[in-house]
A and B are shown apart, each in its own frame.
Chain A
Amino acid sequence: MSLDRSRRRFLVTSAGAAGALLVGWRAQAQDDLPYLGARFAPQQLSDFVRIETDGAVVIGARGCEVGQGVKTGLPMLIAEELDADWSRVRVEQLPYGYIEADSGPGDRYGDQGVGGDAGPAAWTQLRQAGAVARWLLVQAAAQQWNLDAATLRTESGFVIAADGRKLAYGDLAANAATLDAPANPPPLKDASQFRIIGKPARSVDAREVVLGRTEYGIDSYLGNTLVAVIARCPYPGGTLDTLDDTQARQVTGVHRTIILPGPKSDAPFDGVLAAGVAVLADDTWSALRGRDKLKITWKPDPSWAKDSSAGLEEKAGALLGDDANATVVRNDGDFARTKKAPHTTTLSARYRLPFLAHATAEPPSATIAVTKDKVVLIAGVHDPDGASQLLHALTGVPREAIEIRLPRAGGDLGRRVHNDFVAEAALVAKEAGVPVKLAWLREDDLSHDFYRPFGVHELTATLDRKQHLAGWSHRVAATPRNWRNSQLAGKPIFAGLLDADAFPAGLLPNFQQLFHALPCGLPRGELLGGVHAFQAFATQCFLDEIAHATHQDPVVLRMDLLGAPRMLRPGFDTGRLAGVLRIAAGKIDWQHKPKNGHGLGIACHAGGGAYAAHAFEVSVEGNDLVIHRAICAIDAGRVLNPLNLQAQASAATLIAVSATLHEAITLKNGQVQQRNFPDYPLLRMGQAPHSVDVHSVDSGADPADFHDIVAASAAPALANAVFAATTVRVRRLPLMPELLRLI
């Protein structure tokens, strides 16, 4: 997820000194270590590594696992340098690790956000944590054998002397834990020595998941927890007008109701998302029955009371003709002049993208206990640091007394970066004086989200007499993502919607990107694909349209644009993008177009050092789209866990397919119209391809987060395949209803 995070990060590990990890650990009292330290302190070798006397290596996972594989992948980095036997490693989830250090507040375990883990910094930090633990074990063995540590080596949980003698880590751990950390970080392995990194590893949670034992946030209870559900104002920015809760409070099992004021109008959405009335009960069923009995009227915010998707589209149409008042995102050369050149052909198309919801499998939920001097939160959160700050602000409890446990979370897609549900739970629990388990129902989730923005894209290309691309214009009218969003504060109005460096920017001499803001009261946020998916659908479909109109091959057209392999700018190597495009074309057998009513489509995208291309083979059978083949080629640098990379690339592809084919949130009379899955249909088993063939290029480059890039290239490749199969160009998403309308 390409989240823009401006928040300060004090990392105990940020100096790169792995020794600091040990200092951080030793400064802590045992009781403060809720999981790793308390029971097994003598064998604790760092914040992340504990070795039990039976030799079992326990590694702490710092990021919240939402299905992206960090709970498996990040401990692999540690285990690699530790030279542990991965098959015997046990992974434990770490809680959020706030510490007060001399230098100020810090994150004890480094970046615990969901998204910040893929980059080179995490590789270095976590490998160092493993290397320090290994160093301590080697020193302990050297002392025991009275040998020079430099003559010893390690392998799969043993220190081995030159003469073949072996000592198990478990037998060395107690002594190793008494030693001082090395003054300088020990050297890290060369990639050629990796035994764990780069090898396929299954999810460490798999067994618990299939047994139904995994405890998600929604499965947590604390003490005598009451369940809370909230009736929220259906109008963005609206307020509670009247409330009669008499009947609700008479429902058996219902304890009370609590009124939650909504956010201040125009203030950032940093706390609760909407005004609401919470119903607290013994169990979810009683709370729901109580909520049904509430008699509430809501007052819309007059600014947004008439919002509708149709109105936004109309407004977008009007704005797109008004270049003079647009925000210029990028302007290379002179696009307008290319239109006036003799023998110029102009092509233009508009693509319409609806609001999208996250619809995470596990809806937002939080279990919390608040007293005047302590808070315990159990919730799947993407930004535990932000949650900690928010809880401090809402309860006044010092941050060091706020404990955040990170259970496995049922999906994220960018939803959990917002802590609105944490704020709701905290306010309700504080008022109620008892621990609270806040439950969001699917109806709550679909109608109160931070939606992927609505936008209309207008692409215009000018072609010279030889049908070469002379100019490119990309105009967008969209609901800005940074509206009331403190994470994007200070960023331009188009932040998260248009990337001035996205393909094909920089590859054409006359190139412009213009942006118009569409005002709307619906909260907006990040969704898998992010800025990349928002614009790549339009750019990659439009390239296909240009290729078709000019009788060029869509792959050749893209290859010609990319030109010779080179670093166009930092993070964008044209050769690597051409490389994945070539693989996708090869694997789908692009040269041999099917003649049986099937169509092939292709697209590619790049960003942040990740490169992806997709190719699909589809046909339309009756009212159904059949995806016969799905190819995803990906180059995301060094691969940590190939099995997980395959899973992630396949997942990002199919999530994008789902959004492209079926999903839309629409506004009418100032309210979201969708309520539950029947009107927000997700991709089903029978609609999914039988496999997504993922082909990964391990280029050895720095590892890069690829989820957004994969999602970005999948959607237009699918739409291009639909065109190839049907000759119908769908420019309005979701694709299926529009396709069935057009054919």
Chain B
Amino acid sequence: MPDNPFRRTKPEPVPPVAASAREKTLPLRINGKAFFHNGDPEMPLLWYLRDVLRLTGTKYGCGIGACGACTVLVDGKAEHACMLPVKSLAQREVTTIEDLAGKDALHPLQESWIAEDAIGCGYCQPGMIMAAAALLKRKPHPDDADIDAIPNLCRCGTYPRIRAAIARAASAPVEGKK
């Protein structure tokens, strides 16, 4: 048994490995920080984020790229973390929900999600926000068809409020960090 099995463990950043070990490891850039993965290069980014880095804002929903709960930004574009082996991420910049907000302010989408109370159970919302962030990056003033095309699933049916939140953020003057 470990010293105290009931101790709640907080996410801890994994320290970069020593330079000598780097040759065998995979360099990753996540939320602006460098990480070196020395495990299975086939491990999907989703499980690396969650189980290794304990960045649990990226959610598991289906594991086959069908629900969008694990949506992250890779070089600014929406991707399903469950479909990305970490080995495919060399030289690419990953942004998760934990790093969407700026230092001093939430991302406009996060503000608008709160303003519209677009929460439901909340589980899919980080993925939704990341998908919407990618959309606004690509098209700052999306039309209905653009919003319709967001493939993410919300089991609670918060779609109308999500739609309102995206529209609100799109009409907000403030530029987001990402």
Of the listed stretches A47-55, A279-287, A304-312, A551-559, name the one at the interface; the rest are far from the partner chain: A279-287
Provided the pairs A441-B63, A685-B159 are in contact, do residues A411 and B121 lie with their beta carbons within 8 angstroms? Answer: yes
Q: B117 to A643, Cβ gap below 8 A?
A: yes
Flag if A206 contacts B113 (CB, 8 Å).
yes
Q: From known contacts A222-B7, A655-B157, infer whether A202 and B117 are also in contact, taking CB-CB under 8 Å.
A: yes
A contact residues around B3 at 8 Å (CB): 223
Residues of B within 8 A of A657 (CB): 157
A interface footprint on B1-33 (CB within 8 Å = 1, 0 otherwise) = 111111111000000000000000000000000
Beta-carbon contact of B121 and A222 below 8 Å: no
Inside 8 A of A41's CB, which chain B residues have their CB? none
Assess whether B62 is in contact with A442, with CB atoms less than 8 Å apart.
yes
Question: A209-B122, A686-B148 are known contacts. Are A285 and B43 too (CB-CB below 8 A)?
Answer: yes
Given contacts A283-B52, A677-B66, A685-B152, contact A210 B126 (CB under 8 A): yes
A684: chain B residues at CB < 8 Å are: 151, 153
Q: Which of B120, B147, B149 sits near A651, CB closer than 8 Å?
A: B120
In the complex, A210 Cα to B57 Cα: how many Å? 9
Report if B156 contacts A (CB, 8 A).
yes
CB <8 Å contact, A442 and B63: yes
- Chain B 119-178 residues near chain A, CB threshold 8 A: 119-126, 129, 144, 147-164
- When each residue 36-64 of chain B gets 1 if its CB lies under 8 Å from chain A and 0 otherwise, what string results? 00011001100110111011111111111
Those of A654-706 within 8 Å (CB) of chain B: 654-655, 657-658, 676-678, 682-686, 688-692
- The reply to whether A209 and B106 contact each other, CB–CB distance below 8 Å, is no
B67 at the interface (CB under 8 A from A): yes
| Cβ proximity bits A204-236 to B, threshold 8 Å, 1 near / 0 not | 011101111111101111111101000000000
Residues B1 and A434 in contact, CB atoms below 8 Å apart: yes
| B75 touches A (CB below 8 Å) | no
A433 to B164 CA separation, bound complex (whole angstroms): 49
The reply to whether A211 and B2 contact each other, CB–CB distance below 8 Å, is no
Q: Which residue of A lies closest to B67 (CB)?
A: A677
Q: How far is the CA of A374 from the CA of B4 in the complex (A)?
A: 12
With contact pairs A222-B7, A442-B61, A658-B157 given, residues A433 and B122 touching in the complex (Cβ less than 8 Å): no
A29 interface contact, C-beta 8 A: no
Can you name the residue of chain B whose Cβ is closest to the Cβ of A371?
B5
* Chain B residues near A658 (CB-CB < 8 A): 157
* Mask: chain A, 97-138; 1 = CB below 8 Å from B; 0 = not: 000000000000000000000000000000000000000000
A689 neighbours in B (Cβ, 8 Å) = 160
CB < 8 Å: which of B8, B54, B109, B149 contacts A686?
Answer: B149
**Chain A residues in 8 Å Cβ range of B151:** 684-685
Q: In whole Å, how far is A700's beta carbon from the nearest beta carbon of chain B? A: 25
Q: Is A513 an interface residue (CB 8 A)?
A: no
Which stretch from A322-330, A356-364, A600-608 is at the chain B interface?
A356-364
Q: Which residue of B lies closest to A654 (CB)?
A: B157
> Is the pair A410, B121 in contact by a Cβ cutoff of 8 Å?
yes
Please tell me if A297 contacts chain B, counting CB pairs below 8 Å. Answer: no
The answer to whether the Cβ of A430 comes within 8 Å of any Cβ in the partner chain is: no
Of the residues B96, B129, B163, contact of A685 by C-beta under 8 Å = B163
Chain A residue nearest to B52 (CB atoms) is A283
Given contacts A284-B47, A685-B147, contact A361 B64 (CB under 8 A): no
**B34 at interface (Cβ–Cβ under 8 A)?**
no
**Does A502 sit at the interface, judged by CB under 8 A?**
no
B122 close to A221 (CB less than 8 A): no
B74 contacts the other chain (CB 8 A): no
Tell whether, in the assembled complex, residue B9 and residue A223 are in contact, meaning their CB atoms are under 8 Å apart. yes
| Min CB–CB distance A380 → chain B (angstroms) | 9
Question: Do B66 and A285 have beta carbons less than 8 Å apart?
Answer: no
Asked whether, in the complex, the Cβ of B57 is within 8 Å of the Cβ of A361, the reply is no
Is B78's beta carbon under 8 Å from chain A? no
Instruction: Take A285-B40, A655-B156, A676-B64 as given contacts and tell me if A223 and B122 are in contact as well, using a CB distance cutoff of 8 Å.
Output: no
Contact of B156 among A214, A411, A435, A677 (CB under 8 A): A411
A685 in contact with B148 (CB, 8 Å): yes
Query: CB-nearest residue of chain B relative to A437?
Result: B51
Interchain nearest-CB distance for B53 vs A (Å)? 11
Residue among B48, B123, B161, B163 with max Cβ neighbours from chain A (10 Å): B123
State the Cβ distance, B40 to closest chain A Cβ, in Å: 7
Complex CA–CA separation, A219 to B152 (angstroms): 20
Chain A stretch 399-422: residues in CB contact (< 8 A) with chain B: 403, 408-413
A210 near B106 (CB under 8 angstroms)? Answer: yes
Q: Which of B97, B117, B152 contacts A647 (CB 8 A)?
A: B117
Contacts of B50 in A (CB 8 A): 219, 284
A339 CB → nearest B CB, Å: 42
Question: Which of B148, B151, B159 gathers most chain A CB within 10 Å?
Answer: B159
Tell whether A144 is near chain B: CB-to-CB under 8 Å: no
Residues of B near A439 (CB, < 8 A) are 60
Indicate whether A650 reaches chain B with its CB closer than 8 angstroms.
yes
Q: Mark A53-74, 1 if CB is under 8 A from B, else 0.
A: 0000000000001110000000
Which residues does chain A contribute within 8 Å of B96, judged by CB atoms? 212
The answer to whether B94 has its CB under 8 Å from any CB of chain A is no
Chain A nearest Cβ from B75, distance in angstroms: 20
- In the complex, per-residue mask of A272-293: 1 if CB is within 8 Å of any chain B CB, else 0: 0000000000111110010000
Q: A66-B121, A361-B154, A411-B123 are in contact. Are A221 and B6 (CB under 8 A)?
A: no
**A67 lies within 8 A of B63 (CB):** no
By a CB distance below 8 angstroms, the chain A residues around B161 are 647, 650
B73 within 8 A of A: no
Residues of A within 8 Å of B109, CB to CB, are: 210
Contact check, B155 vs A361: say whether CB atoms are below 8 A apart: yes
The answer for the CA separation of A658 and B155 in the assembled complex, in Å, is: 9
A363: chain B residues within 8 A (beta carbon): 60
A562 an interface residue at 8 Å Cβ cutoff? no
Measured CA separation A211–B122 after assembly (Å)? 11
A647 touches B6 (CB 8 A): no
Complex Cα gap A227–B47 (Å)? 11
Q: Is A252 an interface residue (CB 8 A)?
A: yes
Report yes or no: A369 in contact with B122, Cβ–Cβ below 8 A: no
The reply to whether B9 and A685 form a contact with Cβ atoms under 8 Å apart is: no
Instruction: Evaluate contact between B56 and A215: CB separation under 8 angstroms.
Output: yes
Would you give the shortest CB distance from B150 to chain A, in whole angstroms?
5
Any B CB within 8 A of the CB of A653: yes
Min Cβ gap A330→B in Å is 33
- Contact in complex: A685, B98 (CB < 8 Å): no
In the assembled complex, the Cα of A361 lies from the Cα of B1 at a distance in Å of 33
Name the distance in Å between B20's Cβ and chain A's nearest Cβ: 22
Question: Would you call B162 and A685 a contact (CB within 8 A)?
Answer: yes
Instruction: Check A216 against B123 for contact (C-beta < 8 Å).
Output: yes
Query: Which residues on A sit within 8 Å (CB–CB) of B101?
Result: 211
Which residues of the other chain, B, contact A651 by a CB distance below 8 angstroms?
120, 156-158
B117 touches A205 (CB 8 A): no
**Residue in A closest to B97 when the chains form the complex, CB atoms:** A212
In this complex, which of B6, B113, B144 has the most chain A Cβ atoms within 10 angstroms of its Cβ? B6
Chain A residues 236 to 280 lying within 8 A of chain B, measured CB to CB, are 252-253
Chain A residues closer than 8 Å to B58, beta-carbon distance: 212
The CA of A477 and the CA of B39, in the complex, are separated in Å by: 54
- With A and B bound together, what is the CA distance between A212 and B71 in angstroms? 12
Tell whether A203 is near chain B: CB-to-CB under 8 Å: yes
B62 touching A210, Cβ below 8 Å: no
Q: Across the interface, do B61 and A361 meet the contact criterion of CB distance under 8 Å?
A: yes
A binding-site residues for B, Cβ under 8 Å: 65-67, 202-203, 205-207, 209-216, 218-225, 227, 252-253, 282-286, 289, 359-363, 369, 371, 374, 376, 403, 408-413, 433-435, 439, 441-442, 643, 647, 650-655, 657-658, 676-678, 682-686, 688-692
Given contacts A222-B8, A289-B40, A689-B160, 19 further A-B contacts (CB under 8 A): A67-B122, A209-B113, A211-B98, A212-B56, A218-B59, A221-B8, A223-B5, A223-B9, A285-B40, A286-B40, A371-B5, A410-B122, A410-B124, A434-B1, A647-B117, A651-B120, A677-B64, A678-B64, A686-B150
Sampled A-B contacts (22; CB under 8 Å): A66-B121, A67-B122, A209-B122, A210-B125, A211-B101, A212-B97, A215-B56, A219-B50, A223-B2, A223-B4, A253-B39, A284-B47, A285-B40, A359-B155, A361-B156, A411-B123, A647-B117, A653-B157, A676-B63, A678-B64, A685-B162, A686-B148
